[in-house]
Chains A and B, each alone.
Chain A
């Protein structure tokens, strides 16, 4: 569950990061404040998009596994299959526990950021509160009320003087307080300050900033998001500036610029030495000032066209990405809704036909339930150890109940994870036998509730005495292997909960083995790879 969420976050993080980088790269090319408004909404759109995976995913417990796309010639497929087999044998266990570890790191970082930000907010609020006092100057309070009325702000906003703040600010989402630094302002200064702050309030910029903060907390590992947050914060200011000076003359703009510069605190601490070294702060202020002073001289023109076309491209990119996600989601839902048991769409499907012709013999000892639809073949002579498995890719309905799912759990979905394109499975519908030489047979079951059970729709049979290897990708769920004839339990994983476990179970020639998985906790997804041979050989 956590891992899936983490993978989702990573999956969304990447394309969105590219988009953000693109947007940040073109930013200097179109330095125009008309663009600020466009970017303001662009960032908002991206921020909302970034938060969607969580809200969409959370209620759904069964989660999707990226379906590996295998296309190509049978030969290539075979290679791929072998690669997968050996990779899954040796590395899978390691890589899976790796995602486990990474997702734990991610959630730990998220919690750390959350606590840190919560603490910072609490700390500032508290330390501002103890240095704040009500405005004693009745004229200031009156002016502020007037400004509120003018801007049609109906909420009651406190105004306080605070010795701790260096620049005027509004703090608090639910109960906003305007904090004025402890210094004297003339009426004109106050008028601009109030206007600026109340515009922020009307535009709900604090809410926007909270969203950015949450995005930053969730994607704390992604440096691009930090750049985005920074850029978005700057654009919030630019858009606000634009609003303040709308329809005002140059004199007013000049005064507004001066008020901004006066609001910048000069700082004698060591930290500022560093920042003035790079002079980044100064440059960004200069940019802001020129955007205020130049606004009317620039025309929308080319930049606007550029912006619009780009927004279309960017938006379509994002939507495309969204729809891909939705599709995957839908596929999953269908799988689940059907309660369908897909037979393994084996990666080797195209190649077994030839093996069949090579001289195979049907084996008589077949389990009843698959008898009608399946035959079994022997392995080609060069393959000493392999499992032969009777299979019908799409089981007839009557088999479904008896084999795969204990019918009481309608929510269990079983489907192969590493499925090749679905066309392949259509070919096999006649109930052909799928031979799995050393490559893996993969299997996945998603459970909603703890204690649910699902069986693999077919039995495994070895053509010689050998080891059957079962590799489990996640730590959740329990695996059990039983003798299909006697019902005797050969292997029971209960108690072992190692992530990415690799089990070797000795099997005897000619005996059928049934593999069952069950969930150890709610929302478990069990993904297995089963090999005919010891993958280490």
Chain B
């Protein structure tokens, strides 16, 4: 895949999330039915956005009888990883910890460190 992934606008991401969450291929009306649970969607607008997603390389369209169906070309995890690695995310770095109270606040650690820490807990509690 040489097409560069771009950050999706909110509405397009909303559509993609529906498609990722459901078995595919999925038809336009099925997508609309799920989206409508939150708020009413205009079928024309939805169609336009779906076409845009095809153009972006996120979706592939097919036919199931009369209905147009969609299959995702990009995995949710792949897209999420891309978004996390985007320039904006990287610029903002770990700064989210300033605004939240989290269970763990600091930088990420390597797998090996995590293993060490688990072992540390074991060793500390075993003696008792």
B107-A266 in contact (CB<8A): no
- Kindly state the separation between the CA atoms of A121 and B90 in the bound complex, as whole angstroms: 14
Say what secondary structure dominates the interface of chain B.
helix
Per-residue 0/1 for B81-116: is the Cβ within 8 Å of any A Cβ (1 yes, 0 no)? 001110010101101111111111111111101101
Are B108 and A272 in contact, CB atoms less than 8 angstroms apart? yes
The CA-CA distance from A212 to B100 in the complex, in Å, is 12
Given A250-B125, A257-B121, the answer on whether A170 and B100 have CB atoms closer than 8 Å is yes
B13 within 8 A of A: yes
Given contacts A201-B101, A205-B101, A289-B121, is CB(A124)–CB(B96) below 8 Å? Answer: yes
Say yes or no: A193-B121 contact (C-beta < 8 A), given A124-B92, A209-B98: no
B105 near A261: Cβ-Cβ < 8 Å: no
**B101–A259 touching, CB < 8 Å:** no
Instruction: Determine whether the beta carbon of A123 is less than 8 Å from that of B117.
Output: no
Contact call A130/B125, Cβ cutoff below 8 A? no
Q: B80, A163: Cβ atoms under 8 Å?
A: yes
Q: Is the CB of B103 within 8 A of A263?
A: yes
Which A residues between 247 and 264 are near B, CB-CB below 8 angstroms? 250, 253-254, 257-261, 263-264
8 Å CB contacts to A: which residues of B8-51? 10, 13-14
Residues on A with beta carbons closer than 8 Å to the beta carbon of B128: 250
Q: How many residues of A contact B (CB 8 A)?
A: 58
Assembly CA distance A209 to B111 (angstroms): 29
Known A267-B109, A281-B106; judge A169-B100 contact (CB<8 A): yes
With A117-B98, A130-B13, A250-B128 already in contact, the answer to whether A293 and B121 are too (CB < 8 A) is yes
CA distance A203 to B116 in the complex (A): 32
Q: Do B121 and A167 have beta carbons less than 8 Å apart?
A: no
* Best-surrounded residue of A168, A205, A282 (most CB of chain B within 10 A): A282
- Do B118 and A258 touch (CB < 8 A)? yes
Select from chain B the residue with minimum beta-carbon distance to A192: B103
Query: Using Cβ atoms and an 8 Å threshold, which residues of chain A touch B99?
Result: 120-121, 124, 171, 209, 213
Q: Is A472 an interface residue (CB 8 A)?
A: no
Rounded to whole Å, the gap between the CB of A289 and the closest CB of chain B is: 6
Mark out the residues of chain A between 172 and 220 whose CB falls within 8 Å of any chain B CB in the assembled complex: 193, 196-197, 200-201, 205-206, 209, 212-213
Q: List 11 A-B contacts (CB under 8 A).
A: A164-B80, A167-B102, A250-B128, A253-B125, A264-B104, A266-B111, A267-B108, A272-B109, A272-B110, A282-B117, A290-B124
Besides the known contacts A166-B108, A293-B124, 7 further A-B residue pairs in the complex with CB atoms under 8 A apart: A120-B99, A130-B14, A167-B104, A169-B100, A205-B101, A263-B104, A267-B110
Q: Which 7 A-B pairs have the closest CB atoms?
A: A267-B108, A169-B102, A200-B101, A169-B100, A263-B103, A263-B104, A254-B125
